């Protein structure tokens, strides 16, 4: 080989490698062979399809792996997601399916596999599209615009690459706002817009401390980058959390959506980021106002309050109601104040309110005690102990003088005695302070490792963190066992075995304890939350300006991807699913999309048992709403419960009277429809005396000729009667109304808890679709 040709190849090699890395194997199915073509003609036909999406004939030929000539009429080829999407649009193409490397790879974004979006339907058994069929039909969310209200974005992340993406949709009217460390080049065909809002923040708290955050859309927190990439991050190879945990391919739920970033959340002066940030109502409303004008189709808002506020005082609800005028779907997190009842935020019926649940992946890091007892903990901590036992202490026994009784065992800053901690493993309990902060306190005091014990409220749910020293989190019961061992041993010892990623754990999903619960205290006739989605230990992109612990002044580690938990993580899962439905059904209203997601949600785990909470007790709709997100079923729900912007205004007329804060031009009728008759996909009835009749209307979006029959599981102590009990449809788009009469069963009163809600469901089924709605009813006494 000549020196010139070798240099040429070396110069081209990076481009070749990048090109290959960006391509994946897809199966393109064109149906059945006619039997009339010779083998070379079939291959030429397949090549012609590739030539329609490739730049050159040489590239088309090189990308073809197999041309199937005896089974299906199809071929396997190396394609980008954009090329695969273009092929899927062709009328004669039956399907374009991504070749799933399930035998050799663990998926970082396990949550999408778990809910069936990347695999063939997950663990669901009912009528559903295959995950890749849904993505292909939705063109991976191409040209759907999702606005994300959060803490900004780290634009350099590979999750926001625009490689292979087409022109920005003509419907986009937004801007790329420049600022500190953020210029117009940071927007692209994936991140099509970015803005930031802090006028109200600075009016209340003074000028932004620019050492703590950027005066621009750039993210110095991590939260916003995480949520944005969960919605619409591109497929990125060889991704993992620090320490190599969850290694595999990262992807958002709708990898070709366009993202518009609205930075509205900022650091609290004098407070660590690990303790949270703040988002001012006026800044958020300005962002929603801009988003509506910019042309977004979906708004993902992982922001809420610690306590519910009236609709008239809830600026997210106000902004979201205006978004419904433009048919924008708004998904919001339910909050992280669980498991106490009546704690959820964002309860407005025009918002999709999202709870958080687990996936079937754990990061097992056993704790081995000196008596041989092995306790299964979890962590994503990269640090490792030597293979030996270390002295073990309980934090309450090794504190400095004058530590308050409430802080005992909590490992709060400055609470531990270095003389008593140095060289030991310390058991710290959850409660006050942050999880990561407790580990930092142990390290600062000279500890070699720490065990994070759950509080009783957290039960068996384990949130994983990238601690600054070897660590493992254990359940409340296991923490009690460790304390008992320490108290009963003269020389307590322990070690922490390095963690391993385990896939397929059971039961899953279960409800996260932190997920805020109903009932809805703003309007108990609206059942909230609406749905639950993966929110526990979710891996996604992260800001390289904030460490994985968010302890920015003490932890100097930099990561590109990070594991995080919260309803903030579950909300973008639903936003992505809504974007896919928007792509498939562009004429559907935001209410129809919410209905499709809710009425097809799952009620069982991967063991076939009812959904539970973190302690194993059966969960209720006040935790999971309609159930666990199943986007592959939501694409074809059969029937939907639709509602318009006017319907919501009439609802407000009934619930709050004057609606001038929402729409001063709208005149409420003298007799507004009852709030309970808002056409919602669930039913909640508080304090029922005797009998009540509820009206609902469904719209046929399934087969044109269809007949649906009614079934129900009434809440204990109540009877249900429907009229009519059969709905017959002759056309798509046809509407049918029905009434449900709920009556107290007096003979069952002795079996009904007078202070609690009872739960049940009703459904319409045509043999192909099951359109299910939850019910929550309580007695009046």
Six token digits for residue 665: 């031009």
Q: Quick one: which of 660, 761, 769, 772 has its CA closest to 718?
A: 761
Helix (H, G, I), strand (E, B) or coil at 740: strand
Place of tokens 């609206």: 526
Rounded (10°) angle between helices 315-325 and 645-656? 140
Beta carbons of 659 and 350 less than 8 angstroms apart: no
Q: Of these residues, 113, 143, 150, 219, which one is catalytic?
A: 150
46, 47, 186, 223: which one is catalytic?
Answer: 223
Query: Cis omega (within 30 of 0) on the bond before 89?
Result: no
Residue holding tokens 């990623």? 501
Cis omega (within 30 of 0) on the bond before 507?
A: yes
Residues in the chain: 781
Residue in this structure with the two tokens 């919605």, named with its chain if needed: 231
**What is the distance between the alpha carbons of residues 380 and 385, in angstroms, rounded to a whole number?**
14
For 341, counting Cβ atoms within 10 Å of its Cβ (0-12 exposed, 13-18 middle, 19+ buried), the class is: middle
Name the DSSP letter for residue 507. Answer: S
Residues whose CB is less than 8 angstroms from the CB of residue 479 and which lie 6 or more positions away in sequence, other chains included: 427, 429, 451, 453, 454
CA–CA dist 778, 214 (Å, integer):
49
Tell me whether residue 568 is one of the annotated catalytic residues. yes
> Is there a contact between 515 and 386 (Cβ–Cβ < 8 Å)?
no
Q: Sign of the CA dihedral 210, 212, 217, 218? A: positive
693, 719 Cβ separation under 8 angstroms: no
- What are the tokens at 631? 């986007």
Beta-strand (E) ranges in 597-717?
639-640, 683-688, 691-700, 706-713
Other beta carbons within 10 angstroms of residue 139's beta carbon come to 22
Q: Which residues contact 555 (CB under 8 A, 6 or more apart)?
A: 436, 440, 468, 547, 548, 549
What's the CA gap between 5 and 360, in Å, rounded? 51
Return d(Cα 78, Cα 62) in angstroms, integer.
9
Active site residue 223: yes
The answer to whether 762 touches 710, Cβ cutoff 8 Å, is yes
What is the rounded CA–CA span in Å between residue 767 and residue 670?
Answer: 43
Task: Indicate the burial class of 731 (C-beta count within 10 angstroms; 0-12, 13-18, 19 or more).
Answer: exposed
Measured CA to CA, the distance from residue 153 to residue 545 in angstroms comes to 11
Q: How far apart are CA 520 and CA 453, in angstroms?
A: 31
HSE on the CB side for 573, CA within 13 Å?
A: 38
Q: Report the sign of the C-alpha dihedral through residues 74, 75, 81, 82, in that order.
A: negative
- N-term to C-term CA, the chain: 92
Q: Which of 88, 29, 81 lies closest to 237 in space, CA to CA?
A: 81
Contact 466, 241 (CB under 8 A): yes
DSSP state string for 170-229: TT----B--BTTB-GGG--SSEEEEEE--HHHHHHH-S--TTTS-SSSB-SSSHHHHHHH
Can 455 be counted among the known catalytic residues? Answer: no
Of 378, 398, 367, 341, nearest in space to 521 by CA: 341
Q: Which tokens in the block code for residue 501?
A: 């990623």
Catalytic residue among 229, 543, 565, 568: 568
- Residues marked active site are found at 150, 223, 568
């Amino acid at each position: 080989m000549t020196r010139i040709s070798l240099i040429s190849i070396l110069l081209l090699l990076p481009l070749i490698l990048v090109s290959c890395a960006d391509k994946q194997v897809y199966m393109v199915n064109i149906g059945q062979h006619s039997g009339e073509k010779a083998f070379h003609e079939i291959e030429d036909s397949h090549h012609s399809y590739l030539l329609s999406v490739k730049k050159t004939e040489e590239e088309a030929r090189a990308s073809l792996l197999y041309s199937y000539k005896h089974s299906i009429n199809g071929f396997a080829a190396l394609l980008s997601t954009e090329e695969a999407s273009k092929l899927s649009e062709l009328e004669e193409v039956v399907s374009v399916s991504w070749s799933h490397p399930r035998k050799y790879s663990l998926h970082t974004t396990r949550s999408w596999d778990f809910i069936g979006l990347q695999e063939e339907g997950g663990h669901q058994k009912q009528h559903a599209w295959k995950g890749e069929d849904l993505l292909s039909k939705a063109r991976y969310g191409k040209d759907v615009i999702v606005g994300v209200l959060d803490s900004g974005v780290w634009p350099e992340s590979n999750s926001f690459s625009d490689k292979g993406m087409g022109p920005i949709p003509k419907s986009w009217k937004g801007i790329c706002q420049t600022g500190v460390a953020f210029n117009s080049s940071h927007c692209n065909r994936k991140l099509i817009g970015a803005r930031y809002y802090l006028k109200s923040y600075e009016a209340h708290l003074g000028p932004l401390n620019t050492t703590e955050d950027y005066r621009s859309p750039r993210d110095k927190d991590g939260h916003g980058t995480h949520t944005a990439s969960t919605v619409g991050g591109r497929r990125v190879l060889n991704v993992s959390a620090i320490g190599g945990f969850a290694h595999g391919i990262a992807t958002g739920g709708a990898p070709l959506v366009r993202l518009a970033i609205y930075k509205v959340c900022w650091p609290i002066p004098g407070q660590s980021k690990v303790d949270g940030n703040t988002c001012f109502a006026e800044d958020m409303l300005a962002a929603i106002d801009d988003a509506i004008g910019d042309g977004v189709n979906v708004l993902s808002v992982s922001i809420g309050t610690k306590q519910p506020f009236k609709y008239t005082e809830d600026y997210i609800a106000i902004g979201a109601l205006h978004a419904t005028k433009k048919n924008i779907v708004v998904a919001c997190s339910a909050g992280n104040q669980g498991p106490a009842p009546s704690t959820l935020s964002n309860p407005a019926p025009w918002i999709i309110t999202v709870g958080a649940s687990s996936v079937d992946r754990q990061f097992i890091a056993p704790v081995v005690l000196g008596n041989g007892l092995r306790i299964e903990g979890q962590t994503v901590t990269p640090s490792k102990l030597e293979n030996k036992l270390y002295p073990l202490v309980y934090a309450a026994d090794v504190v400095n003088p004058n530590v308050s009784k409430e802080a005992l065992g909590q490992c709060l800053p400055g609470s531990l005695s270095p003389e008593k901690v140095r060289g030991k493993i310390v058991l710290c309990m959850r409660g006050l302070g942050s999880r990561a902060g407790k580990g930092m306190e142990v390290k600062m005091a000279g500890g070699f490792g720490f065990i994070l014990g759950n509080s009783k409220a957290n039960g068996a749910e384990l949130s994983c963190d990238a601690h600054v020293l070897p660590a493992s989190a254990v359940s409340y019961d296991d923490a009690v066992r460790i304390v008992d061992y320490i108290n009963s041993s003269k020389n307590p010892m322990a070690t922490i075995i390095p963690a391993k990623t385990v896939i397929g754990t059971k039961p899953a999903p279960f409800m996260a304890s932190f997920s805020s619960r109903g009932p809805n205290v703003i309007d108990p006739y609206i059942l909230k939350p609406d749905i639950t989605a993966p929110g526990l230990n979710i891996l996604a992109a992260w800001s390289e300006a904030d460490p994985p612990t968010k302890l920015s002044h003490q932890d100097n580690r930099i990561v590109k991807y990070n594991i995080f938990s919260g309803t903030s993580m579950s909300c973008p899962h639903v936003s992505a699913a809504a974007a896919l439905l928007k792509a498939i059904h562009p004429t559907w209203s935001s209410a129809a999309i919410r209905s499709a997601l809710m009425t097809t949600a799952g009620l069982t785990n991967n063991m076939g048992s009812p959904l539970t909470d973190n302690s194993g007790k059966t969960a209720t709709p006040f935790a999971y709403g309609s159930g666990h997100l199943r986007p592959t079923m939501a694409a074809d729900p059969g029937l939907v419960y639709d509602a318009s912007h006017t319907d919501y205004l009439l609802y407000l007329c009934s619930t709050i009277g004057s609606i001038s804060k929402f729409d001063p031009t709208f005149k409420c009728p003298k007799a507004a429809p009852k709030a309970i008759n808002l056409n919602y996909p669930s039913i909640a009835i508080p304090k029922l005396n005797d009998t009540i009749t509820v009206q609902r209307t469904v719209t046929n979006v399934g087969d044109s000729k269809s007949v649906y029959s009614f079934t129900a599981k009434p809440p204990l102590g109540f009877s249900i009667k429907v009229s009519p009990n059969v709905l017959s449809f002759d056309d798509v788009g046809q509407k049918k109304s029905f009434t449900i009469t709920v009556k107290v069963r007096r003979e069952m009163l002795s079996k009904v808890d007078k202070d609690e809600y009872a739960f049940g469901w009703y459904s319409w089924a045509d043999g192909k679709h099951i359109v299910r709605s939850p019910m929550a009813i309580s007695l009046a006494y």
